[in-house]
């Protein structure tokens, strides 16, 4: 991850909150001291349940590139069923990492062996934190804890601050709890990330 910008690509399905998670990650990056941060959705003919993409760029200097991320250092997959229909590793940097919401272990995912893979059961952590709205589990924010642990790029303190800014009161606390649980429950194939505070 030696490039000028750190690029993150999000894969989810319509309605899972990939765009919201990317926006919160951008805010957390800013709180963590990055001077340039962006969050951008990629819109096509998406509908609820169809594969969608969002992206982030952050850097210690201002970011002046706003195109779609092509060579991500980090790929975040909100739904492991997407692995059957989308090449989530396309263009990933040689030292990049794929973070997946899954109950499987990293070696059961089936991605190329040269990739670093992290898994966290963000869905379960979100349920435990009470992140359920009208029967739908809101796991998109929980996986931010997995991002922190797997990459070490943004500390949990900054993730929590961004979550509390986006969600107020009790909802903010539930989202922070989900992210903390996901951080602690993240398994990385080759560890280079952070601890969870």
List the CATH number of the domain containing 28: 3.40.920.10
3-state secondary structure of 194: coil
Q: Has residue 165 been placed in a domain?
A: yes
Q: Are strands 187-188 and 116-120 parallel, antiparallel or unpaired?
A: antiparallel
Q: Are strands 132-133 and 136-137 parallel, antiparallel or unpaired?
A: antiparallel
Q: Has residue 119 been placed in a domain?
A: yes
Token pair 């602690």: residue: 184
- The number of folded domains in the chain is 1
pLDDT band at 2 (very low <50, low <70, confident <90, very high): very low
Percent of the chain with pLDDT over 70: 92
Mean pLDDT of the chain: 91
Q: Has residue 197 been placed in a domain?
A: no
Residue 42 has pLDDT above 70, yes or no: yes
Q: Which domain holds residue 103?
A: 6-188
Residue 132 contacts residue 111 (beta carbons within 8 Å): no
Mean pLDDT of 78-92: 94
Neighbours of 35 (CB within 10 A): 12
Instruction: Tell me the pLDDT tens digit for each residue of 152-195.
Output: 999 999 999 999 999 999 999 999 999 999 999 999 987 655 66
Residue 122 contacts residue 184 (beta carbons within 8 Å): no
Neighbours of 189 (CB within 10 A): 18
Both tokens of 136, joined, read 């739908």
- pLDDT for res 67: 80
Q: Has residue 40 been placed in a domain?
A: yes
- pLDDT for res 194: 66
pTM of the entire structure?
0.92
Q: Has residue 196 been placed in a domain?
A: no
Q: Has residue 193 been placed in a domain?
A: no
Residue 51 has pLDDT above 90, yes or no: no
What region, left, alpha or beta, does residue 169 occupy, with left being phi > 0 and alpha being psi -120 to 50 degrees? left
pLDDT band at 68 (very low <50, low <70, confident <90, very high): confident
Mean pLDDT of 31-35: 96
Q: Are strands 116-120 and 97-101 parallel, antiparallel or unpaired?
A: parallel
Neighbours of 157 (CB within 10 A): 13
Instruction: Tell me the pLDDT tens digit for each residue of 136-160.
Output: 999 999 999 999 999 999 999 999 9
Q: Has residue 1 been placed in a domain?
A: no
Q: Has residue 195 been placed in a domain?
A: no
């Amino acid at each position: 991850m030696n490039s000028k910008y750190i690029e993150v690509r999000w894969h989810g399905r319509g309605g899972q909150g990939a765009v919201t998670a990317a926006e919160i990650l951008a805010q957390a990056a800013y709180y963590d001291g990055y001077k340039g941060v962006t969050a951008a959705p990629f819109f096509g003919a998406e509908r609820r349940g169809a594969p969608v993409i969002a992206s982030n760029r952050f850097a210690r200097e201002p970011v002046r590139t706003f195109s779609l991320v092509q060579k991500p250092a980090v790929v975040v997959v909100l739904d492991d069923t997407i692995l059957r229909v989308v090449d989530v590793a396309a263009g990933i940097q040689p030292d990049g990492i794929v973070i997946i919401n899954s109950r499987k272990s990293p070696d059961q995912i089936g991605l190329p062996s040269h990739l670093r893979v992290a898994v966290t059961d963000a869905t379960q952590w979100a349920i435990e934190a009470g992140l359920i709205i009208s029967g739908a589990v809101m796991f998109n924010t929980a996986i931010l804890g997995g991002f922190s642990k797997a990459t070490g790029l943004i500390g949990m303190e900054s993730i929590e601050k961004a979550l509390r800014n986006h969600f107020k009161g009790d909802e903010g606390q539930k989202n922070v709890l989900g992210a903390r649980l996901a951080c602690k429950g993240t398994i990385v194939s080759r560890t280079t990330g952070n601890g969870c505070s």
